[in-house]
Each structure stands twice: as structure tokens, then as C-alpha cells.
Amino acid sequence: MIGRLHHIGIAVPDIAAASALYRTRLGADIGEPKDLPEHGVTVAFIEAGSASLELLSPLGPDSTLHRFLERHPQGGQHHLCFEVPDIEAAMARLKADGATVLGDGAPRLGAHGLPVIFMHPKDFAGTLVELQQASLEPQS
């Protein structure tokens, strides 16, 4: 496998209300919400074994999450994030196989301060896949 599953992103219209549901109903230990203006989202993480859940709500009028929430007004599973040792190498391999990197194609720092990219859902049977380099410097 390209790397371990790092987290599952779940889009929600109201991060405080969703956090309360996960806390009350699943006994989840949820971190404080954190704004990521560069990504247009507010996020809160839930530890769930070795992987975590990332609740996401839109931040600002240009957030790409608005369109997702128009289609899924209650919220819904939004993306899967896998760790990779070297994000440029992973991108090169995927692009050589015809997959599409979203945005301007350059890695950006994600919620964990590590380089991330998103691949187009059409390349993964409808699932939006995020790749996150496991550390700031690539590992071979």
C-alpha cells in the first residue's frame, strides 16, 4: 500500500453540532476546532485507533466545501488521507498513470503542517484521495 490510512475527512455543516454528536453518541475525544484559512475549512480531529476522523466545515464564502454540502446538506464522508514517504515521488507515479492532481498541482501545507495534495475523485472510483507526506522532509 502507498502508505497507512492517516484520516477520514467528514464534511459537516456545523462543526460544533457534529462534534457534540460524536462526543455524546460515540464517546469521541475531539480536539478543539482549528481554522485553516488557506484551505477554506475549519477542522476538528477525533482519534479512532491508528487513523483519525477529521470533521470539516466551510470557512469563508469561497470554501470548496459549500458545493459538497449543497449536495449533502446533512454532511457526509468527504475524503481519505494516506501517508506517503515522498509526496513528489507519489505525485509523479500517479500522474504517469494518468491521475489528476487538483488545484495548481503543487503540495500545500495541510492541517498537520505537512505537505498535502488532493487527487481527483474520478481517479479513485469516486473517492477524493488526499496524500500527506509523513514528515516535512521526504524520506526514501
Catalytic residue numbers? Answer: 130
Least distance from a copy of itself to the Cβ atom of residue 37, Å: 23
Of 29 and 38, the one with the shorter C-beta distance to a copy of itself is: 29
Least distance from a copy of itself to the Cβ atom of residue 60, Å: 21
Of 36 and 51, the one with the shorter C-beta distance to a copy of itself is: 51
Least distance from a copy of itself to the Cβ atom of residue 45, Å: 12
Least distance from a copy of itself to the Cβ atom of residue 106, Å: 20
Q: Are 6 and 15 in contact (CB under 8 A)?
A: no
32 burial via Cβ count (<10 Å: 0-12, 13-18, 19+): exposed
The residue type at 16 = A
Question: Where along the sequence are the contacts to a copy of itself (CB under 8 A)?
Answer: 1-2, 4-5, 8, 10-13, 17-18, 21-22, 24-29, 46-51, 53, 55, 72-78, 80, 82, 94, 97, 99, 121-127, 129
Beta-sheet pairing, 41-48 with 108-109:
unpaired
Q: Are 105 and 116 in contact (CB under 8 A)?
A: no
The residue type at 25 = R
Of 27 and 113, the one with the shorter C-beta distance to a copy of itself is: 27
Of 35 and 47, the one with the shorter C-beta distance to a copy of itself is: 47
